């Protein structure tokens, strides 16, 4: 029970960071391109990872065999997940993005059933739909516009959700043989190398290599990528991988919906947006779904101990 409680705390902390990162991403897009944001956020994430290693907080050794075993995970997260999400956010409204991103827990449940043979109970599925309905309700009442131009954005965000779901399933599979710190280290290092290579190539093609670091001169962007790199990339990777070492992938994925609730209150607190009635109703549906999904995912013995 103590191990499960720690895992839930990690998942909840991850949801809070994700909620604020969505807002930070939108602000950062006003200053730089998606690939510039990704390159700089992974640079800060990699530097933070090195600092933890040097200071002795992360004590492990990676073999070449382990690196190659973990590399497929890095493809889905962070590379595909973050890049597809940012590219999709350029083409659709945040309300529309909320609907698509809310598909992640359902995709995770399907993939976990097919790949990991995880079993989900009927009530667990029902409460997962309750949580999904809260996200869809907020998005629809707020107003989601469908246009031909936004179809590409929908596809990109759907692929981002699929990448996130596949990442959760692969972590659950790999964490049995590799520590969550090793999984995080390989993912962050891979993202750092590939995103900087892509951003560098784009700058060379455009003939503006001297402007590679210029976005960092904007204080809001610098603070944004620091948050995105250290907390939203490295922090959520460590928290997610740790939680998945103790929770099923289907149970863990539902915490992504809490990010929607956090993003609403982040907008109210930081951007002075008004809290609407439909946001409160949707938030209650999401929280009810999260609690119900995890309660009915627990076995009878665990439920008795909670009582």
Segment 261-306, tens digit of pLDDT:
777 777 777 766 677 788 788 878 877 887 787 677 655 444 444 4
Give per-residue pLDDT as tens, 39-73: 999 999 999 999 999 998 888 888 899 999 898 88
Global pTM reads 0.77
pLDDT > 80? residue 183: yes
Give the residue from 280, 283, 22 showing the smallest Cα distance to 135: 283
Give residue 304's pLDDT.
43
Confidence label for 95 from pLDDT (cuts 50, 70 and 90): low
Give residue 150's pLDDT.
65
């Amino acid at each position: 029970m103590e191990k499960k409680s720690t895992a839930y705390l990690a998942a909840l902390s991850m949801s809070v960071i994700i909620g604020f990162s969505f807002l930070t991403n939108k602000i950062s897009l006003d200053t730089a391109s998606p690939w510039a944001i990704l390159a700089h956020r992974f640079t800060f994430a990699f530097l933070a990872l090195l600092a933890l290693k040097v200071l002795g907080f992360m004590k492990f050794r990676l073999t070449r065999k382990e690196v190659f075993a973990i590399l497929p995970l890095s493809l889905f997260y962070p590379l595909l997940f973050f890049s597809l999400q940012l590219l999709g956010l350029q083409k659709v409204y945040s309300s529309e993005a909320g609907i698509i991103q809310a598909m992640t827990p359902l995709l995770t449940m399907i993939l976990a059933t097919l790949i990991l043979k995880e079993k989900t109970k009927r009530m667990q599925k029902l409460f997962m739909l309750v949580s999904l309905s809260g996200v869809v309700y907020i998005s629809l009442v707020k107003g989601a516009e469908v246009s031909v131009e936004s179809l590409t954005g929908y596809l990109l965000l759907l692929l981002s959700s699929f990448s996130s779901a596949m990442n959760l399933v692969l972590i659950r599979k790999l964490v049995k043989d590799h520590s969550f710190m090793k999984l995080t280290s390989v993912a962050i290092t891979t993202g750092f190398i590939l995103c900087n290579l892509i951003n560098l190539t784009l700058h060379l093609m455009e003939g503006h290599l001297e402007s590679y670091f210029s976005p960092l001169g904007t204080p809001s962007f610098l603070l944004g990528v620091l948050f995105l790199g250290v907390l939203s990339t490295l922090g959520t990777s460590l928290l997610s991988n740790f939680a998945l070492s103790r929770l099923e992938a289907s149970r863990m994925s539902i915490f992504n919906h809490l990010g929607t609730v956090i993003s609403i209150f982040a907008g109210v607190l930081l951007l002075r947006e008004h809290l609407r009635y439909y946001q409160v109703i949707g938030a209650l549906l999401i929280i009810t779904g999260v609690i119900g999904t995890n309660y009915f995912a627990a076995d009878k013995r665990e439920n008795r101990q909670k009582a």
